[in-house]
A and B are shown apart, each in its own frame.
Chain A
Amino acid sequence: MITRDKKGNPILEAEARIPYELALGPTVHRFFEGFKQRKILGTRCHACGRVLVPARSFCPRCFVDMNEWVEVSQEGRVLSWAVTNYEYFGMPTKPPFIQSLILLGGTDCGFMHLIGGVDLSDVDRVGRIVKTGMTVRAVWRESRTGCIMDIQHFAPVD
């Protein structure tokens, strides 16, 4: 449909919406099957010894298969965080939310998820509650389907 934009210029309104079927493969599938049982699983590289989460099929540095599975801690240290306070089209998580990189106990990389259970009514005050270096713990949803949002968020541990 031809309409006008905010400058008054003629524009064609168009949309591209395409369905996809993205394969999980055995490693991602097993990782998410662990989520159904409230377990966070990583894989260990036999070459460099690192434990990575989410579980990987191969070590990005050593390029060898990673098929030793380990259950890692549900608690971790906050490596970084930021508070999103704006929205774009189709945004999967509604703002405001706190995204965070978390170093889970027994792992050697940051794990990306949300920090929740924090008052977000004033984004300027979040920095007084959430701190880099603080400990957070996974909060699971009651109903789990085997996806990344089976963990509702990570909550600060007193």
Chain B
Amino acid sequence: MARAVAVVGVGQTRYGNRSEMTYPDLVREGVQAAFADAGLGPEDVDGVVFGTMPSMMEGVAMTHFYFADALRAVGKPLMKTETCGTTGMSLAITGYYWVASGMADVVLVVGSEKMHEGDSQATMSTVAEPFFFRPFTSGAPGIFSMLAQMWMDRHGIPEDKARDAAARVSVDHHRDALDNPYAHIKKAVTMEEVKGAPVIVYPSRLWDICPNSDGACAVIFACEEKVKKMSGKPAWVKGIGFCGDEYWFGDSDKVSWDGARETARQAYEMAGIRDPLKELDVAEIYNPFTYVELQHYECFGFCEAGTAPDRVLDGTFSRGGELPCDPSGGVLCSNPIGATALVRVAEAALQVTGRAGERQVEGARLALSHGLGGVAQFNGIMILGAEQ
């Protein structure tokens, strides 16, 4: 039987162009913030889990070696986990496993990226093999724009309606990010600006797409025994799920998206959630693109297939709605990829412990955090709660 595990501290750097410092110093900034938040030090940590997007994002491979000192991992077990955009969620789940299994009592989990140091989409194109896929990839925007087209077609959603809903998602999140001191993009946008912005990969336009961000996020997981000795409010891990899809992009159906649905099923079963829309208080969906956030509302059972545009336009997922999603501004406004899904976990922890500041969803007790990565290949979820 797995032990109870809680998040006892989170640390985030400010996201954006952080060229004023080296990459290891940026990682250290996130680690220091998590130690300060938890009231713990390196001596309390039994092991370290670290990850990024493909290491070549910044031109240095095996960065857990490069960052050993910044992670305070010297003399401890250090594990690297890497699943593209899902990396941060894989890190959190790895840290959870380590503590839940009894192999460690306190684990430091860190994700980072410094995307301004390289060419992010050139790096991501190397995720596609060069025999069949690479000549046709245009990085992540291409894949998620194709998903959007299939989703609209399958459910008979008029393009204008999907366009309006995606624009509303963008408007909401860009406004939300103004309340997040760590957010990268701090600019309110209007429906007209989003819909009239330049096409990056049709149908996705500039404000439908996440930025390239630098940043690091650190989260500390601890066992029940340690939590009880600490003074801070814990965020208990209530459920986790992870599911990988087949490699070949054309082999499986990314509209019904069984992998995304299975991920949620696992997490809901473990957390005892039957009606996510009613039971969850807030969700941090991994939303690098507006359209894919709409798809995830459906895959995670927040609404019926094909109805996400209606629910977005009636405000169900906005601040003050029935299930506010990404009150941090989400991936759409800050995307240091190796850290991004871990930021979702950190934000969920802040929400259920009532420490999310201006972006706090009032009375939040149960929060879903999500990671997505690969060629739309991996989904991971961690559900955090105020009660054990």
Given A80-B153, A86-B201, A123-B199, the answer on whether A101 and B137 have CB atoms closer than 8 Å is no
Is there contact, CB below 8 Å, between B142 and A132? no
List of A residues within 8 angstroms of B129 by Cβ:
22
Q: Which residues of B contact A133 (CB under 8 A)?
A: 153
| A70 vs B133: C-alpha distance when bound (angstroms) | 22
**Shortest beta-carbon distance from A25 to chain B in Å:** 10
Stretch of B41-49, B62-70, B118-126, B353-361 on the interface side: B118-126
In the complex, the answer to whether A88 meets B122 with C-beta atoms within 8 Å is yes
Q: How far is the CA of A85 from the CA of B209 in the complex (A)?
A: 13
Cβ A16 vs Cβ B202 within 8 A: no
* Stretch of B7-15, B183-191, B245-253 lying at the A interface: B245-253
Bound-complex Cα distance A127 to B117 (A): 35
B158: Cβ under 8 A from any A Cβ: no
Closest to B129 in A: A22
Which listed residue, A91, A101, A126, touches B122 by the CB 8 Å rule? A91
Query: Within B218-270, which residues are at the interface with A (CB < 8 Å)?
Result: 246-251
A80 adjacent to B146 (CB under 8 Å): yes
User: In the complex, are the beta carbons of A109 and B59 less than 8 A apart?
Assistant: no
Indicate if the CB atoms of A132 and B121 lie closer than 8 Å: no
Partner of B138, one of A15, A60, A86, A126: A86
**A11, A79, A123: the one within 8 Å of B150 (CB):** A79
Q: Which residue of B lies closest to A114 (CB)?
A: B136
In the assembled complex, A9 has its CB within 8 A of some CB on chain B: yes
B142 and A82 within 8 A (CB): yes
B199/A124 in contact, CB under 8 A: yes
A93 part of interface (Cβ distance < 8 Å): yes
Q: In the bound complex, what is the Cα–Cα distance between A148 and B19 (angstroms)? A: 39
Within 8 Å CB of A90, what residues of B?
119, 122, 125
Which of A7, A14, A124, A148 contacts B131, CB < 8 Å?
Answer: A148
Q: What 1/0 mask marks residues of chain A from 75 to 119 whose CB sits below 8 Å from any chain B CB?
A: 000011111111011111101010111000000011111100000
B271 located at the interface, meaning its Cβ lies under 8 Å from any Cβ of chain A in the complex: no
Which of chain B's residues has its CB closest to A18's CB? B56
B289 → chain A closest CB, angstroms: 11
Residues of A within 8 A of B119 (CB): 88-90
B250 and A109 contact, CB distance less than 8 A:
yes
Contact pick for B249, options A9, A16, A91, A110, CB 8 Å: A110
Q: Which chain B residues in 191-211 approach chain A with CB under 8 Å?
A: 198-204
Q: What is the chain A residue whose CB lies nearest that of B146?
A: A80
CB pair B149–A82 under 8 Å, yes or no, is yes
Distance in angstroms from B171 CB to nearest chain A CB is 20
**Chain B interface extent, by class:** 35 or more
Chain B residue at smallest Cβ distance from A148: B132
Asked if A91 contacts B146 (CB within 8 A), the reply is no
B316 located at the interface, meaning its Cβ lies under 8 Å from any Cβ of chain A in the complex? no
| Docked pose: A5 CA to B17 CA in angstroms | 10
Q: Determine the chain A residues whose CB is within 8 A of the CB of B149 once the complex forms.
A: 80-82, 132
Bound CA–CA A6/B247 (angstroms): 38
Contact A82–B145 (Cβ < 8 Å):
yes
Residues of A within 8 A of B363 (CB): none
Question: Could you say which of A9, A61, A112, A127 contacts B136, with CB atoms under 8 Å apart?
Answer: A112
* B30 close to chain A: CB less than 8 A: no
With A89-B119, A112-B249, A126-B202 known to touch, is A80 a contact of B150 (CB < 8 Å)? Answer: yes
Contacts of B132 in A (CB 8 A): 54, 112, 148
Instruction: State in angstroms the CA–CA spacing of A53 and B199 once bound together.
Output: 31
Are A84 and B201 interface neighbours, CB within 8 A? yes
| B139 proximal to A (CB < 8 A) | yes
- A41 at interface (Cβ–Cβ under 8 A)? no
Which residues from B are CB-within-8-Å of A28?
131
- Chain A residues positioned under 8 Å from B250 (CB to CB): 79, 101, 109-112
Of all chain A residues, which has the CB nearest B56? A16
B58-83 contacts to A (CB < 8 Å): 59
Encoded as 1 (CB less than 8 Å from any A CB) or 0, chain B from 98 to 127 comes to 000000000000000000110111100100
Which 8 A-B residue pairs are closest in the complex by CB-CB distance?
Answer: A110-B250, A82-B145, A84-B138, A83-B202, A88-B121, A132-B153, A89-B122, A9-B19
Q: List 30 A-B contacts (CB under 8 A).
A: A5-B116, A14-B59, A15-B59, A22-B130, A22-B131, A24-B131, A80-B150, A82-B138, A82-B146, A82-B148, A82-B149, A83-B201, A83-B202, A84-B138, A84-B141, A84-B142, A85-B201, A85-B202, A86-B138, A86-B201, A88-B119, A88-B120, A88-B139, A89-B119, A90-B125, A92-B125, A92-B134, A92-B135, A93-B136, A101-B150
Interface residues of A (CB under 8 A from B): 5, 7, 9, 11, 14-16, 22, 24, 28, 52, 54, 60-61, 79-86, 88-93, 95, 97, 99-101, 109-114, 123-124, 126-127, 132-133, 148-149
